A = this chain, B = another copy of it.
């Protein structure tokens, strides 16, 4: 990847940090932003005991929610309010309390007002615990006021 233009990077940072500040559920999960670039995001969290399901492993909603947060941050980096419309996830490996999960979201394509992302979630050993594809819709609304075009 070439480095993004400074203003594109600054916009991505401002959007994602502002979103995470208001994102109560991601903060409950303990989601941290690791790296951020236009159309791309890495986040991390540690699985806690209160996140298990009836089998004592992480509830499927935990890895999903981390991936969905990564998708939200990555897909809003261009400054347009962008929302998930359809996601899917596969679970090759169980997740346990204490695991540190890292999710990388990356844009794979876009058409009209729709964009496509792949998200891979790995545990601290680098093993893929979830593969996720997300489809998002770019609204006409901006995160920040736009300069008047004269």
Q: Which residues of A contact B (CB under 8 A)?
A: 18-26, 28, 49-56, 58-62, 64-65, 68-69, 72, 76, 81, 83-94, 108-116, 118, 120, 127-128, 131, 133, 135, 137, 139
A72-B93 in contact (CB<8A): no
Point out the residues of chain B lying under 8 angstroms from A139, CB to CB. Answer: 112
* Copies of this chain in the oligomer: 4
Q: What residue of chain B has the Cβ atom nearest to residue A29's Cβ?
A: B61
Point out the residues of chain B lying under 8 angstroms from A20, CB to CB. Answer: 54
Per DSSP, are chain A's interface residues mostly helix, strand or loop, or mixed? mixed
Point out the residues of chain B lying under 8 angstroms from A108, CB to CB. Answer: 90, 92, 120, 128, 131
Closest 3 CB pairs between A and B? Answer: A92-B109, A61-B65, A19-B54
Q: What residue of chain B has the Cβ atom nearest to residue A60's Cβ?
A: B68
B87-A109 in contact (CB<8A): no
Minimal beta-carbon separation of A29 from chain B (angstroms): 8
Of A54, A81, A91, the most chain B CB neighbours within 10 A belong to: A54
Q: What residue of chain B has the Cβ atom nearest to residue A58's Cβ?
A: B25
A51 CA to B69 CA, complexed, in Å: 12
A84-B60 in contact (CB<8A): yes
A6 CA to B45 CA, complexed, in Å: 41
Point out the residues of chain B lying under 8 angstroms from A52, CB to CB. Answer: 22-25
Point out the residues of chain B lying under 8 angstroms from A26, CB to CB. Answer: 53-54, 59
